[in-house]
């Protein structure tokens, strides 16, 4: 079935007729009384043999009834019927958008090429599929995704905007600025009119229609869908002081980079186009500028073996020390240059079991300050010529580690997520590690069973640290991230025992001040997302040029 047909059928199933609304009301009352959600749905089929109410229809009915006043808001009930609650259990709601197809400076042999898509993406990957449906229009992508998440029962007041699509830094800057501005327009709920200049791409805009990004950013500080993180992906050889200043102008707080390997020979024969030193310099500069750093690492590149990959992964924790990583095993695709190497017998993909064994070996070695976001790309198996086709690799790895009695202590594996937290039982932990010339403090609140309730990333740069050229950061300790876990809640909402509402963020900031003062710093800077500025302004920070700053 075509993608568009599947979507039409899904929308038809979830249209709320008066009969469906009445049935939903009855089902919701049963669930409120203690009945299992799926059992309640299955014991009340729709008339005419149309099947059953979906959870999406149930959430839509709940929202409609709350809006009309026919039922009172019920947080517990909503939590029961919410679809895919894991999406917002880390405390924020992620909205992913893709940029349009555009030339990439990279010539990597493993990268797929599809003229319809930005480099390295395929049209049947979930996020790419949504972007293609909206013709890569940033406003439409964000607007539709927010609406879909709300329909699934997720709060959308705190949004991490993830901009994907190859090498962000290679796009024209007027396109970048326009793209970000239109994303903010959607979060701000601004009126969308494609005939107005502000809705058009830079190539079609009139000379007089300048993009005023600062205006929409100011609106977003207090709007109902606040941006609490802005993420782009780029290459290490694109990072320099001018680029980081531009990224801060856009409001970027997190940068994803494809390191891929820490072996210059492997990078060279895979035609990556940069060396390990470029990754080292880029990581150091981004850290000095306060960005959260996400590195992509690819096992099974041409020339690698499971044994060499094991050794390569260990190099990541010397100078680089990323805050988050994505493990993207190389996958053999017919529309990548690597396919020709495979046909000549010069490349052999790892088997699924080899990948499971490799990642199960290395995952327990990941430091407690790092989060593993992914261990596989969402590339449908029908695109893979040979090798692993399982997108559920994370579950396979977890099963293998359980057999071995191995434990991963990364951030993701320790998040408390939806669990209740007793503040009296929390201990504060300060994990200190060296990342290049910077002393990093990963200060966290930990539960008795080693769950992670919240943390702050504090950087204490050495006097000879890489210079960013931004006066806000001169002689300052630097807060790069504050994160408190639990189901993402609406601003001002309360939830008994939720980590987000125990004042942990404020206590972490106070501890960071103490650590910085003890180490001889008298100034503190924080890299703030647009929608979190007021949080820091309310806690003694003042506006600088690109950062919020204060005396300590």
What tens digit of pLDDT does each residue of 467-485 get? Answer: 888 999 999 999 999 999 8
Instruction: Write down how long the chain is.
Output: 552
Q: Are 444 and 492 in contact (CB under 8 A)?
A: no
Cα(251)–Cα(287) distance, rounded to whole angstroms? Answer: 16
Q: Note the pLDDT of residue 209.
A: 47
Q: Is the CB of residue 546 less than 8 Å from the CB of residue 517?
A: no
DSSP state, residue 349: P
pLDDT tens profile 72-109: 888 778 777 765 555 444 568 999 999 999 989 999 99
Q: How much is the pLDDT for 85? A: 53
Low-confidence ranges of the chain (pLDDT < 70): 1-16, 48-50, 82-91, 191-199, 203-210, 466, 486-501
CA atoms within 13 A on the CB side of 500: 20
Burial 170-179 (b: 16+ CB within 10 A, else e): bbeeebbbbb
Bridge partner residues of 158 (DSSP): 226
Sheet holding 438-446, edge to edge: 427-435, 438-446, 452-461, 477-484, 523-526, 548-551, 542-543
Domain 423-551 has CATH 3.40.630.30: yes
**What is the predicted pLDDT for the residue at 51?**
78
CB burial of residue 478 (10 Å; 0-12, 13-18, 19+) = buried
- CA 199, 125, 91, 420 dihedral sign is positive
Confidence at residue 166, expressed as pLDDT on a 0 to 100 scale: 83
> How far is residue 238's CA from residue 244's CA, in Å, rounded to a whole number?
10
Residue ranges per domain, the chain? 14-83, 91-234, 423-551
The reported pLDDT for the residue numbered 210 is: 57
**Distance of alpha carbon 326 from alpha carbon 121, whole angstroms:** 16
pLDDT score for 342: 98
Report which of 455, 452, 313, 294 is spatially closest to residue 372, judged by C-alpha positions.
294
**Of the candidates 371, 138, 368, 145, which has an alpha carbon nearest to the alpha carbon of residue 254?**
371
- The structure tokens listed for 380 are 């449908």
According to the model, what pLDDT value does residue 37 have?
A: 80
Read off the pTM: 0.85
């Amino acid at each position: 079935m075509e993608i568009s047909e599947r979507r039409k059928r899904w929308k038809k199933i979830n249209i709320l007729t008066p009969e469906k609304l009445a049935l939903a009301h009855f089902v919701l009352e049963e669930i409120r009384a203690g009945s299992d959600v799926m059992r309640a749905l299955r014991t009340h089929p729709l008339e005419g043999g149309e099947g059953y109410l979906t959870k999406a229809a149930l959430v839509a009915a709940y929202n409609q009834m709350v809006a009309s006043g026919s039922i009172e808001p019920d947080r517990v009930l909503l939590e029961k019927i919410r679809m895919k609650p894991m999406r917002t259990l880390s405390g924020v709601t992620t909205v992913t958008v893709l940029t349009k197809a555009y030339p990439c400076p990279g010539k990597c042999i493993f990268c797929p090429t599809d003229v319809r898509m930005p480099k390295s993406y395929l049209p049947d990957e979930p996020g790419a599929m949504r972007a293609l449906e909206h013709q890569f229009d940033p406003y439409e992508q964000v607007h539709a995704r927010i609406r879909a998440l709300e329909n699934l029962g997720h709060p959308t007041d705190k949004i991490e905007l993830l901009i994907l699509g190859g090498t962000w830094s290679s796009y024209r800057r007027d396109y970048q600025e326009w793209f970000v501005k239109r994303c903010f327009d959607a979060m701000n709920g601004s009126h969308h009119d494609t005939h107005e200049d502000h809705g058009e791409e830079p190539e079609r805009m009139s000379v007089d229609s300048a993009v005023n990004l600062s205006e929409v950013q100011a609106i977003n500080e207090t709007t109902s869908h606040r941006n609490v993180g802005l993420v782009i992906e780029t290459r290490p050889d694109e990072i320099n002081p001018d680029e980081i200043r531009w990224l801060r102008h856009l409001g970027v707080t997190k940068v994803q980079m494809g390191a891929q390997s820490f072996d210059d020979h492997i990078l060279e024969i895979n035609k990556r186009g940069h060396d390990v030193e470029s990754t080292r310099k880029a990581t150091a500069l981004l850290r000095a500028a306060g960005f959260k750093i996400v590195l992509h690492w690819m096992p099974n590149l041409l020339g690698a073996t499971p044994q060499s990959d094991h050794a390569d992964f260990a190099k990541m924790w010397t100078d680089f020390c990323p805050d988050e990583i994505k493990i993207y095993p190389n996958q053999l695709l017919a529309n990548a240059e690597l396919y020709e190497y495979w046909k000549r017998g010069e490349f052999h993909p790892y088997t699924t079991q080899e990948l499971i064994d490799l990642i199960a070996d290395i995952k327990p070695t990941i430091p407690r300050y790092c989060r593993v976001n992914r261990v596989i790309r969402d590339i449908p198996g029908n695109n893979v010529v040979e090798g692993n086709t399982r997108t559920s690799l994370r579950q396979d790895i977890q099963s293998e580690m359980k057999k071995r009695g191995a434990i991963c202590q990364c951030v993701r594996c320790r998040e408390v997520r939806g669990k209740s937290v007793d503040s009296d039982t929390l201990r504060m932990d300060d994990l200190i590690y060296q990342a290049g010339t910077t002393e990093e403090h990963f200060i966290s609140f930990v539960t008795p069973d080693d769950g992670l309730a919240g943390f702050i990333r504090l950087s204490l740069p050495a006097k000879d640290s890489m210079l960013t050229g931004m006066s806000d950061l001169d002689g300052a300790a630097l807060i790069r991230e504050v994160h408190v876990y639990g189901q993402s809640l609406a601003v001002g909402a309360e939830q008994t025992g939720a980590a987000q509402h125990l004042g942990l963020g404020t206590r972490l900031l106070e501890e960071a001040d103490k650590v910085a003062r003890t180490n001889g710093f008298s100034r503190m800077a924080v890299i703030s997302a647009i929608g979190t500025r007021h949080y820091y302004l309310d806690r003694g920070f003042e506006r600088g040029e690109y950062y919020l700053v204060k005396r300590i």
